Structures are given as structure tokens and as C-alpha cells.
Structure 1
Amino acid sequence: MDQNDRAAARQAVAENGERLLRLLRRSDPGAAVDAEWRVVDVASHLAFVFRGFGEAAGGTSAQYARYVPEEQDFHKRLATVNAMLVKELADTTADQQMTVAVGMVEEGIAGFLDATAELDPDAELDTPWYGPGVTRTPDTLTALALGELLVHGLDVARAAGVPWPIARAEAALVGGEVFARMLPLMLTDVGRATTVAYRVRWRGAPPQKPDLVIRLEAGTVRTGPVRPGERVDCRVSADPVAFLLVGYGRMPTWRAIGTGRIASWGRRPWTALKLPELFCRP
């Protein structure tokens, strides 16, 4: 991130944190979010997300290593860690659990922003839940935090039957950082067996915001800005909100394409439909 994006992302975490806390406090803890999670489970998940991010920034995240299973699949590993952590809050009524979780979310957001305020943006912070020895920078954790707030805020809002608008600029902050930094950790078996290169352009983003290249080859993935003379198989023009929701599994790819929010062209334009299959969902 550049300095402007960094400041905007931190402000977005603070503002979306406040509106999510307001939504959680007026929501039914037992309302179903999906087949497995209730609103109280989302709140409990976020409580540990922000506690973990804050402790990563403070250098005390090693304690989470004991929760991490020997599991290569990114999604399964995170799901197991989350289930073990959330279980620590589940020995009370849903209302009591909700009260504790919301308090932890509020404290965790403030603690994370405080802990990262003066850190070197390129500092390598230990994040054992992403895998043994994996580190992330404060910029990446800030974008991940914003993604958690935007996407899980939408989950809770849908359960409550209320709107949850997501700003295009904020979705672009998440997409430009999270997908660039996290996709190399998230290859599926299909992705490891695929050779393809995408170039993603963010609609409505500032002119200086670079396109994102995602190149899969020989079981590895490279993400980053376009290299001089670099050719790709599929060029994608994406509304940042649609790309965020597709990437996080909240919108089918066909719907984003069918409504024109994601468009593709180039030598292999049809591979845009395959993109979500190549990576685990965060």
C-alpha cells in the first residue's frame, strides 16, 4: 500500500468497525447466517480475529500455534482454528456469549489499530494460523481486517434483513492487497494443476492503482503488478465489490459476470469463470 491507501484502510477499519458493532448490538444472536453459523458465531469469530491480529502486531501471537492443525488445506486449517477458538466462548447462553464477543470485537479493533499505528508497514508479523512460519505485514493485516468487517457485516445484515452497503473504494483496498498477498497461500489442487494468467483491472479505482496480475504455473502462483511486456490469457475488468464478494464466496461468479459487474476478454476469456476454483476461500 502507499501512504494514502494505508491511511484510507485504517480509517475504513475504524468506521466499519463502529457500524458493525452497532449492527451486532441490535441483532438476534441466534439468527442463522448460514447452515452452520449464527450471528453470535460471527461475532465470536471476529473477536478472535481482531485479538489475533493485535497480538501479531504486538509480537505475542505464538500462543496461537497450539491451535493450528497439521493441515495443508488453507480453508480447512483456518476453519479448525476458528472452531477451537470460538468453542472457548460457547459455554454460556447465546446472549451472554454475544455480550462477551461484541466487547472483544470492540476492544480488538481498537487494540489492533493502536498496535499497528507506529509499526513499519513492511514489518514481518508472525501469523501462525496461516501456516507454520507464515508472516504478514501490517498493511496486509489491515486489509484483511477490513475484508473481515465488510464481508461478515454483510453476513449479519443479511441475517437481520437490513442493508449493508459496501463502498467500491473500500472493496478495492481489500482486493488490491489481500488477493495480491494471500492467494499464494491458497492454491487448491485444481489451481496447482492449472497454467493460466489473469490481469485484473479495478473499475472506479484511482488511475494510479495498478492492475493485478495472477499467474499460475507449475503448482505455484505469482501475484503483483504488470511486468513490462507481460502477456496474460484473460483480462478481467472487475467492480471491486463484486470481486470481493466472489472471492469471499458471497456471490456466484456467474452472477457477477451475468450482471456485467465482472467482464473478461483476451485469448482465454472463459477462464474467468474458473478463477474461484483455483483458490481456497478465505
Structure 2
Amino acid sequence: MSVTPQQWHRLRTSVPAVLDRLADLVADAPPERPATAHWSIADTVAHLSAVASIGVSMLRAAPPDLPVPGLLELRRRTTIDTISVMNAEVLRHYPERRLPVLVDRLRAEVAQMLRAAEEVGPHHEVSWLGGARLPVPGLLAHLLNELNLHSWDVARAMRVPWVIDPADAALFVDLFLVGMTRHGHGNLLDRPGPVRPGRIAVTFQHRYGPAATLALVSGRVTVEPVDPRPDVRLTFDPATFTLMLFGRVGRIRAVLTRRLSVGGRRPWLLPVFLRTMRPPS
């Protein structure tokens, strides 16, 4: 699955559009109000600013413009289970918490990131966390998801709605999850313990793009031709799926509201698959 001209255009228009919505959302927000269990609203925007700064550094193949000692090495050895450690270390060394300053910096860094992405083009690859290889559209899809996910957190703290466009959320699945898997997830998904023998094929399907099949074999996840009879078939609304993937919506709620359907020949293997292809802890 390669990026289409429509997806490439949508990425470059949706990222600044969602950023504008976020800026409006936090314009009168109390910076110290909790947005998550561990982060205030100001912490959340600082995190987004750091994500964009690191994205620029990946595209420019240069050190990030962040005062974090050893960040390149930290990024290289990060796994999905230690992303929270890296995030905490970055925020510890990035003390700015004035929302207007953070929003201005976030705007500047996102603008740099979009310019750099335009310069290198959609077929360029970057080295992401844990040595994973990620095409540029996947990098932008990850940023778009971060903006939507954390804006959802802030909106909930402010007791106002935040609507995620499912077509935007689909880009995260198609271009980040599938894109990184196709190009190589490096050490990102490594975990201690024995590797389960056998093969588990999971087909991901939504209405905004073609289906994709990911297969887990000997601890590695790869993209395979679409399996018409997979072990597990996930049919989902992409906005609900991304919120569920990052713990904002419960799996039972997603199923009961018919935003997620689990089928296939051996659907009980989904938890086994997700122990490797798992969200950050």
C-alpha cells in the first residue's frame, strides 16, 4: 500500500487544519488543568511541540532543536514499552509551559515539518523510534494522530466536544501502522520472553481505503497480500479505532456501539497478536 495523491494532499491540509482547531481550543484554557492522568494542558501542548521538533529533525537528518541530553540515542533504543520514558525525559528538559508561546512554537515547527516533507517527497524514508523505518506520509500521519488524540484529551478536560474526522484517522492506520510494518519496525516491538510459534494473520478493514493484512510470525509483524480468510478480521470506524488503540475508548464500548467488529476464522487469537502489535504502555 503506497500513498495516493489524495492521501498526500489530505495529510498536508489536515495537519494545519487540526492545528488551527487546537489553537482555538487552548486559547483561553487554564494551562495547569489536568488533560490526562499525568499531563496538564500545558504539558500536552509541550509534548506536541516536541513531537513536531523531533519530526523536523528526522526529515532534516539533523539533531532535534530540544535541550535533551542524549536524545538521539534515547530515540534509537526506545521500544513501544518505553515511549513513555522518552516522553517524560523530553518534558523534563523542556520547561516552557506558557500556552501562547507553546502554540507559536508548535505552529512554527509544524510549518517546518510540512516544508521539509514537501522537499524530500512522499517516497523518502526516515529512521523512527527503535530503528523503525517510516515513509514520510507515515510520519505526517503520526503527527496528525498526535494532534487529534491530544486535542481530544484537552477538549475532554475543557468539557467540550472534539470530533476526529474518520478519514484523517484512517491515514494513521494505512500510512503509519501499515507503512511502518511494510518498511520494517526495527526493534520498536521487541519484548522479553519467548516468541509464540505459528502464524496469526489479521485483516484491517474500514470504508476509507483498501483492506490490509498484517501477519505475526516468530515475533515479527509483516504486511502480506490481503487474506480473504484471515485468522482475525477487524472492521472498524477509524476514529473510534485510534481512540481505542490509545486507551481513550474501551474495547467493549467500541463493539457495543458497532464501531468495531471482530470476526475471522480464529478471532480469539487477537489478544495474542496485540501482545506484539501493541499500543504504547
Q: How far apart, CA to CA, are the structure 1 residues paired with 2:135 and 2:63?
A: 14
| Aligned counterparts of 1:82 and 1:251: Cα–Cα separation in 2 | 22
Please state if 1:197 is matched with 2:191.
no
| 2:91 match | 86
SS at match of 2:34: coil
Separation of aligned partners in 1, 2:278 and 2:193: 10
2:134–2:176 contact (8 Å) kept in structure 1: no
Counterpart CA distance in 2 for 1:70 and 1:58 is 16
Number of the residue aligned with 1:101: 102
Q: How many pairs are equivalent?
A: 269
Partner SS state of residue 216, structure 1:
strand
SS state of the match for residue 118, structure 1? helix
Could you say what secondary structure the match of 1:33 adopts?
coil
Q: Report the CA distance between 1:268 and its aligned residue.
A: 1.3
**Which residue pairs with 1:18 in the alignment?**
20
The one-letter code matched in structure 1 to 2:201 is A
Q: Distance in 1 between matches of 2:76 and 2:127?
A: 18
Gaps of 5+ in 1: none
Corresponding residue of 2:146: 148
Assess if the C-alpha contact under 8 Å between 1:233 and 1:267 holds in 2. yes
Deviations 1:100-129 (A, max 9, x none): 3222211111111111113131212233xx
Indicate conservation of the 8 Å contact 1:124/1:135, yes or no.
Answer: yes
**1:181, 1:61 → 2: CA distance?**
24
Per the alignment, in what secondary structure is the counterpart of residue 143 of structure 2?
Answer: helix
| CA shift in 2, pair 1:210/1:61, >3 Å | farther
Distance 2:23 2:13 in 1: 15
In the alignment, which of 256, 267, 270 is matched to residue 269 of structure 1?
A: 267
Q: Give the AA of the match of 1:198.
A: V
Report what 2:210 is aligned to: 210
Where does 1:60-71 land on structure 2 (aligned, <5 Å)? 60-61=62-63, 66-67=70-71, 68-69=73-74
Judged with a 3 Å threshold, the aligned counterparts in structure 2 of structure 1 residues 275 and 246 are, in CA distance, closer, same or farther, namely farther
Q: Which residue identity does 1:219 align to in structure 2?
A: G
Cα distance in 2, alignment partners of residues 222 and 135 from structure 1: 13
Quick one: distance in 2 between partners of 1:13 and 1:134?
A: 23
State the distance in 2 between where 1:139 and 1:255 align: 30
| Residue of structure 1 in register with 2:245 after alignment | 247
* Greater fraction of residues in helix: 1
Q: 1:249 to 1:181 in 2, by over 3 A?
A: farther
Q: CA deviation at 1:38?
A: 1.0
Question: Aligned residue for 2:6?
Answer: 4
3-state SS of 1:89 partner = coil
Q: CA RMSD in A?
A: 2.6
CA contact (8 A) 1:69 1:77 kept: no
